[in-house]
Structure 1
Amino acid sequence: MAKKEKSEYIIQAVSHALDLLEQFHGEVDELGVTELSKRLKLHKNNVFRLLATLESRGYIEQNRATENYRLGLKSLELGQTFIKQMGLLRQAKPILERLVGECNETSYVAIFKEGYVVYLDVVETDLTVRVVSRVGSRLPAHCTASGKVHLAYMTEEEILALIPQREMKQFTTTTITDRDELVKELALVAERGYAIDNEEMDLGVRCVAAPIRDYTRRIVGAVSISGPSMRFTDERIEKELIPLVIKAGDDLSTRLGFHK
């Protein structure tokens, strides 16, 4: 079968919605249905339905005084998220490269999103036996070192709300599936300043992670080192990898404006 061009997969309604959002640029802060209809060359009813959909999700809001529309807070949040993530990635790359140079194991930077960790970037080891790249993956927080780093600095109420007991899926025999046990583990993580994934997500894979903070002192990400358990012995983790990942987290936090 011939491979289709990406343009053939475009959903017209989504494209129109994005065209609408893009009308709010430069000094254009508010627009009415009639003006948007002219600009987009769409019937007013279609424009109104697009506006209603975007308004329901917070990307557009209506000025009740003028009845015109403007960008909503969700658009701002999306832009801020992009800026923060790009700043984090730009600062993280050289630190990940240094980390791999020091231990020759695969290193990641990850963020937390709605009970899951999302891996944004990786620098891989050149060793033949390595972990599968997780960039772009969305993994449960309760069984990953990066996820536990994020959860450890939340209140117990926040943890219980984010991770219902029924969603603590067991992946291996060492996966923590009891919330009380998880809360105890997270207290240790907060006390020590690092987390360990002891083959909790994948058999044969261990990981250590440390928090990344920004100038507001918030946890904005985690830096981690992952590898096969045959190389990640308890002794090596304790003597070599934990100090390296903590230093990487501290250095990256400093680059983002954090001061102890």
Structure 2
Amino acid sequence: MAKKEKSEYIIQAVSHALDLLEQFHDDVDELGVTELSKRLKLHKNNVFRLLATLESRNYIEQNKVTENYRLGLKTLELGQTFIKQMGLLRQSRPVLEWLVRECNETTYVAILKEFHIIYLDVVETDLTVRVVPRVGARLPAYCTAAGKVQIAYMTDEELANYLPSKEMKRYTPNTITDRDELKKYLAQVAQQGYAIDNEELDVGVKCVGAPIRDYTRRIIGAVSISGPSMRFTDERLEKELIPLVLKASEEISSKLGYHK
């Protein structure tokens, strides 16, 4: 079967919605349905349906006085997320490379998205036995070091809303699925400043992670070291890996403007 060009997969309605959003630029802060219809060369009814859809998701909002439309807060959130993530990646990459040179284990930077973490970047070890890179993968936060170290600083109310409403899935015999037990461990994480994944997501894999903060002191991600459990002994974790990941988190946070 011949491979199709990506342009053949374009959804026209989505393309029109993005065209609409792009009309708000430079000094153009508000536009009405008629003007948008002219600019987009679409019927007013189609423009109104696009606006209604975008407004329902807070990408567009209506000025109740002029009845014109303007960009909503969701577009600002997306822009800020992009800026933060790009800054995070740029500042963390050299630190990840330094970590690998120090311990020769695979290192990651991850962010929290809803109930999961997403690995944004990885620097691999050159050892034959290693953890498979998971950049872009969505993994449950409650059984990963990078996830636990981010949700550990949530308030009880935030954590209650955050944790899955259904029973937490058990991935290995070590997965913490009891809420009270998890909360107790998270309190310990918040106090010590790091979290450990003790074969809780994958049998044979351990990980240690520490939080990354920005200039507002908010946690925006985590740095972690991951590897086979046979190399992540309790002694090595205590004497080498935990101090290294804490130093890495402090370095990246400092680069992003955080000061204790």
TM-score by length of 1: 0.98
Hey, what's the Cα distance between the residues in 1 that align with 2:218 and 2:135? 23
Residue 106 of structure 1 aligns with an amino acid whose one-letter code is T
Hey, what's the Cα distance between the residues in 2 that align with 1:236 and 1:225? 12
Hey, what's the Cα distance between the residues in 2 that align with 1:120 and 1:137? 9
Residue 240 of structure 1 aligns with an amino acid whose one-letter code is E
Q: Which consecutive segments of 4 or more residues in structure 1 shift more than 2 A?
A: 164-167
Deviation of the 1:166 alpha carbon: 2.2
1:243 counterpart residue number: 243
Deviation of the 1:201 alpha carbon: 0.5
Hey, what's the Cα distance between the residues in 1 that align with 2:167 and 2:30? 43
1:232 alignment partner, SS class: coil
Q: Deviations over 1:121-171 (max 9, x none)?
A: 111111121111111111111100011101111112211221136241100
Hey, what's the Cα distance between the residues in 2 that align with 1:65 and 1:165? 41
2:61 alignment partner, SS class: strand
1:2 counterpart residue number: 2
Hey, what's the Cα distance between the residues in 2 that align with 1:25 and 1:229? 52
1:145 counterpart residue number: 145
1:209 counterpart residue number: 209
Hey, what's the Cα distance between the residues in 1 that align with 2:170 and 2:121? 26
- The CA RMSD measured in Å over matched residues stands at 1.0
Deviation of the 1:63 alpha carbon: 1.0
Task: Give structure 2 stretches of 5+ with no counterpart.
Answer: none
Residue 147 of structure 1 aligns with an amino acid whose one-letter code is G
2:22 maps to 1:15: no
Hey, what's the Cα distance between the residues in 2 that align with 1:167 and 1:15? 39
1:159 counterpart residue number: 159
Hey, what's the Cα distance between the residues in 1 that align with 2:179 and 2:111? 22
Deviation of the 1:174 alpha carbon: 0.2
Provide the aligned length of Structure 1 versus Structure 2: 260
2:104 counterpart residue number: 104
2:177 counterpart residue number: 177
2:41 counterpart residue number: 41
Hey, what's the Cα distance between the residues in 1 that align with 2:93 and 2:43? 47
Q: Deviations over 1:184-217 (max 9, x none)?
A: 1011111111100001001111000011111111
2:131 counterpart residue number: 131
Hey, what's the Cα distance between the residues in 1 that align with 2:104 and 2:6? 38
Alignment of 1:4-83 (within 5 A): 4-83=4-83
Deviation of the 1:61 alpha carbon: 0.7
Does the 8 Å contact 2:105/2:226 carry over to 1?
Answer: yes
Q: Deviations over 1:80-122 (max 9, x none)?
A: 1111111111101110111111111110001112121111111
Hey, what's the Cα distance between the residues in 2 that align with 1:77 and 1:230? 42
Q: Deviations over 1:48-90 (max 9, x none)?
A: 1000000010000111111111101111111111111111111
1:20 alignment partner, SS class: helix
Q: Percent identity?
A: 79
TM-score by length of 2: 0.98
Hey, what's the Cα distance between the residues in 1 that align with 2:13 and 2:222? 37
Hey, what's the Cα distance between the residues in 1 that align with 2:167 and 2:145? 17
Does the 8 Å contact 2:115/2:164 carry over to 1?
Answer: no
